[in-house]
A and B are shown apart, each in its own frame.
Chain A
Amino acid sequence: MTDVDQQFQRAIGLDVGGTKVAGGVVNGAGDVMERLALRRAPGSHREEVVEDLIGAISELMGRHHIDAIGIGAAGLIDWPEGHIRWAPSNGYDNLSLRSIIEEATSIPTIVDNDAHVATWAEANLWSDGPQRHLAVLTVGTGLGAGLLLDGRLYRGSSGIGAELGHILVDKHSKAICSCGMTGCLESLASGTALGREGRAAAQSNPGGLLARMAGGPQNVTGETVYEAARRGDTTSLELFAQLGYWLGVGAATLVTLLDLELIIVGGGLAVAGDLFIEPMREAMTRHAFATRHRTLPKIALARLGPDAGWIGAGMLSLEHLRQSRVNGAGVATG
């Protein structure tokens, strides 16, 4: 894409989450032309989801000349077909979203996993210029990851991409993960883990700040731990350090296998980055292979926050459009 194309081509980007759709219009350089947020009820039926999306697209098309549409969605998505095979947070599956949107709008469309499109945005809009070899860790309720390897998004054969959250890091752990395993990274380094460990800590100290703030040990959540840590509660600060340690162990595996240049931490817990990034860095340095002989990747907080998904979806759709034109009818690789 030339600089001129980047400036003048426009895409609608949409990010379909479990409870909301965020979106807007961007150009190829990632400049935001318009932003909109549309909330909807969790677990909507597929017809309602499609209706929501087409409504948002029509609204934006009424105000902008649109060259492409990009949609990021949680779940297992076939690339480049844009067929959502499984979306556990949304209550639908087997939704051929790309073809539905293309039929409704006659505009080239891509549909990709939400972690992938967020990774695309963070990589291409990074402060030091576009990056080619990085991971974006999304630390929220769970732990997701997007990989960009030599400039290409890694999607895997199933479209699910990198499941960093489900690598086993502590064989002896009793922490049960949402995937059914015990001791995988997500069970030790996520908002869910923080809440669980917070409740355990509050139970062993019912008079402590955590228990008091939550109105009882059983009510402690990840948010409680965050608030208590901000008040200087040593137990909560230790829990964040522990979370950082396990994230560092996971990052060390990425470094050992992939020799990344950059690891970006995003997701809901990124607001607490100052509480766990340093322990994460220490653990990565301790557990990665040959740290004296390599330049370790920088660990940094995501720049785009909740906008990364829809901006990345829009940018990726324009990149896909560009590559499709270069390759004729060929499949783009972005």
Chain B
Amino acid sequence: MVDALDQPTGAAGGHAYAVGVEILPYELVAVLVDATGRQVDMRRWPIVDMEIKTVVGQIADAALELVDTALDVRLPDPRICIGLQIGGPVETDEGTVLAYANHPTDSMYAGRDYHWREPVPLASLVAAATGCPTVIENDGAAFATLEQRVGVGRETPSFAVVLIRDGVGGGIVLDGRLMSIPFEFGHIKVRPEGRWCVSGDRGCIDAYSGRRAVRAIAGEVTGADSDLESIEAAIVLCERQNAATPHVTAAFRQAGEAVGHGIATVLSLFGLSHMVVYGPPDMVDPATGRAAATAFATGVRNFPSLTYPLFRSAQVLIRPLSVDQGAHGAALVAVDRLINVHSDDMEGSRR
């Protein structure tokens, strides 16, 4: 665990700031927030390759550029700290990414596979490159932190977040504390002997509901030998009015139903009053007008029938993913852990 920032003094308003960085495949998104969590600036950069040395170097460059431009500050500076988040298992105490990989069928990165097979002490590598205290979380926990500070966390001390991207993840806050547990929402079993997911699990939400799974299922139901080229192609198919349309639309609805089943499990188990689902707008948000999103949301909203009656009135909010939310969440993790330090914050591992 890294030390909290010294009491801030001097320029940049005399206040502490946090840089939040979301590490995505071949892309970084970074935001700068002040100690209240207010976003000051946001940038995104492509990553040339996913070699660890390259990623660390580009994170350092991104942080340097952001604070230089927004605050006229050069790193290292005692007022600046960094929060990282990544879509893989992390050991938060050690600041280590335990594994990070894409899957061959994540076709938007086709031919650009990467695989961090050994644990990577990413927080200490970034701290060494920037001179700034650095913490790391996984993506689900970062989104849960975002919700805790600027979302449903203002209404309730206990809630969970579901994050839909290529796969499905999540984070949970109980009694006001971000839980140091894996919260593998995507691997809740919804059909014990069902479809295989890429992690070798069977019948879990991840086998039905992420971009990767929906694309594969759409490929299967349309008779294609391989996956559709992209999730966007599947989304378009829902609006073509051809023979494949009802089948592909059903795949999106099935994806939503699997998420709804998982929501019902979490609501029944923890008695939560709120859950939040983040996902690609065209896939999950009916406000986009996309048929795929309407089908998905319809599936999700089936959750009350699968939920213990006492908790059926819980609010489930579907939020479209935007570019900066993940990095903002990472920055808020840094604000919580390195600026506004709470004595009972939990540390540990998150997978």
Give the size range of A's interface with the partner: 20 to 34
B308 and A253 within 8 A (CB): no
Distance A294 CA – B266 CA, assembled complex (angstroms): 22
Distance A181 CA – B309 CA, assembled complex (angstroms): 8
Q: Is A249 an interface residue (CB 8 A)?
A: yes
With beta carbons under 8 angstroms apart, the residue of A167, A170, A249 that contacts B268 is A167
Chain B, residues 192-223, CB within 8 Å of chain A (1/0): the string is 10000001010010000000000000000000
Q: Is B158 an interface residue (CB 8 A)?
A: yes
A259 and B181 within 8 A (CB): yes
With beta carbons under 8 angstroms apart, the residue of A152, A253, A290 that contacts B199 is A290
A289 and B199 within 8 A (CB): yes
Q: Is A200 an interface residue (CB 8 A)?
A: no
With beta carbons under 8 angstroms apart, the residue of A157, A252, A257, A290 that contacts B266 is A257
Distance A207 CA – B233 CA, assembled complex (angstroms): 61
Q: Is B185 an interface residue (CB 8 A)?
A: yes
| Segment 145-177 of A: residues with Cβ below 8 Å from B | 149-150, 152, 154, 156-158, 160-164, 166-171
Beyond A157-B271, A252-B189, A287-B189, is A184–B181 a contact (Cβ under 8 Å)?
no
**B180 CB contacts on chain A under 8 angstroms:** 150
A179 and B158 within 8 A (CB): no
**B181 CB contacts on chain A under 8 angstroms:** 149, 257-259
A249 and B310 within 8 A (CB): no
- The residue in chain A whose Cβ has the minimal distance to the Cβ of B344 is A333
**B182 CB contacts on chain A under 8 angstroms:** 256-259
| Segment 159-185 of B: residues with Cβ below 8 Å from A | 172, 174-175, 179-185
B268 and A289 within 8 A (CB): no
**A180 CB contacts on chain B under 8 angstroms:** 309
Chain A, residues 20-39, CB within 8 Å of chain B (1/0): the string is 00000000000000000000
Beyond A149-B179, A166-B308, A258-B181, is A287–B192 a contact (Cβ under 8 Å)?
yes
Task: State the majority secondary structure of interface residues on B.
Answer: loop
Distance A149 CA – B184 CA, assembled complex (angstroms): 16
| Nearest CB of A to B94, in Å | 16
Beyond A164-B269, A258-B181, is A157–B156 a contact (Cβ under 8 Å)?
yes
Chain B, residues 84-102, CB within 8 Å of chain A (1/0): the string is 0000000000000000000
B184 and A168 within 8 A (CB): no
Q: Is B187 an interface residue (CB 8 A)?
A: yes
Q: Is B346 an interface residue (CB 8 A)?
A: yes
Distance A36 CA – B179 CA, assembled complex (angstroms): 39
**A258 CB contacts on chain B under 8 angstroms:** 181-183
Chain A, residues 186-221, CB within 8 Å of chain B (1/0): the string is 000000000000000000000000000000000000
- The residue in chain B whose Cβ has the minimal distance to the Cβ of A258 is B181
| Nearest CB of B to A199, in Å | 25
B309 and A179 within 8 A (CB): yes
A167 and B156 within 8 A (CB): no
Chain B, residues 138-160, CB within 8 Å of chain A (1/0): the string is 00000000000000000011100
Distance A259 CA – B351 CA, assembled complex (angstroms): 10
Q: Is B191 an interface residue (CB 8 A)?
A: yes
A149 and B185 within 8 A (CB): no
Q: Is B273 an interface residue (CB 8 A)?
A: yes
Distance A180 CA – B304 CA, assembled complex (angstroms): 13
A253 and B265 within 8 A (CB): yes
**B268 CB contacts on chain A under 8 angstroms:** 163, 166-168, 184
Distance A256 CA – B269 CA, assembled complex (angstroms): 13
Kindly name the residue among A160, A162, A249, A257 whose own CB sees the greatest number of chain B CB atoms within 10 A: A257
Q: Is B321 an interface residue (CB 8 A)?
A: no
Distance A98 CA – B158 CA, assembled complex (angstroms): 25
With beta carbons under 8 angstroms apart, the residue of B179, B184, B306, B308 that contacts A289 is B184
B270 and A256 within 8 A (CB): no
Distance A161 CA – B157 CA, assembled complex (angstroms): 14
Q: Is B237 an interface residue (CB 8 A)?
A: no
- The residue in chain B whose Cβ has the minimal distance to the Cβ of A159 is B271
With beta carbons under 8 angstroms apart, the residue of A167, A289, A290 that contacts B269 is A167
A249 and B192 within 8 A (CB): yes
A158 and B271 within 8 A (CB): yes
Beyond A157-B271, A168-B265, is A256–B188 a contact (Cβ under 8 Å)?
yes
Distance A317 CA – B345 CA, assembled complex (angstroms): 25
Distance A289 CA – B191 CA, assembled complex (angstroms): 14
A257 and B351 within 8 A (CB): no
Q: Is B261 an interface residue (CB 8 A)?
A: yes
With beta carbons under 8 angstroms apart, the residue of B185, B261, B270 that contacts A156 is B270
Q: Is B33 an interface residue (CB 8 A)?
A: no
B306 and A168 within 8 A (CB): yes
Chain B, residues 261-300, CB within 8 Å of chain A (1/0): the string is 1001110111111000000000000000000000000000
**B175 CB contacts on chain A under 8 angstroms:** 152, 154
Beyond A156-B271, A258-B181, is A290–B188 a contact (Cβ under 8 Å)?
no
B204 and A156 within 8 A (CB): no
Distance A180 CA – B270 CA, assembled complex (angstroms): 19
| Segment 218-268 of A: residues with Cβ below 8 Å from B | 249, 252-253, 256-259
Q: What are 23 A-to-B residue pairs whose CB atoms are below 8 Å?
A: A156-B271, A157-B271, A157-B273, A160-B271, A163-B308, A163-B310, A163-B311, A166-B308, A167-B268, A167-B269, A167-B308, A170-B192, A180-B309, A181-B306, A181-B308, A181-B309, A184-B268, A256-B189, A257-B183, A257-B185, A259-B182, A287-B192, A289-B201
Q: A167-B264, A259-B351 are in contact. List 9 more A-B contacts (CB 8 A).
A: A149-B179, A157-B156, A157-B158, A158-B271, A162-B269, A168-B261, A171-B306, A257-B185, A258-B181
The 5 closest A-B pairs by CB, nearest first: A289-B187, A156-B271, A166-B308, A167-B265, A256-B184
B interface residue numbers (CB < 8 A to A): 156-158, 172, 174-175, 179-185, 187-192, 199, 201, 204, 261, 264-266, 268-273, 306, 308-311, 346, 351
A interface residue numbers (CB < 8 A to B): 149-150, 152, 154, 156-158, 160-164, 166-171, 179-181, 184, 249, 252-253, 256-259, 287, 289-290
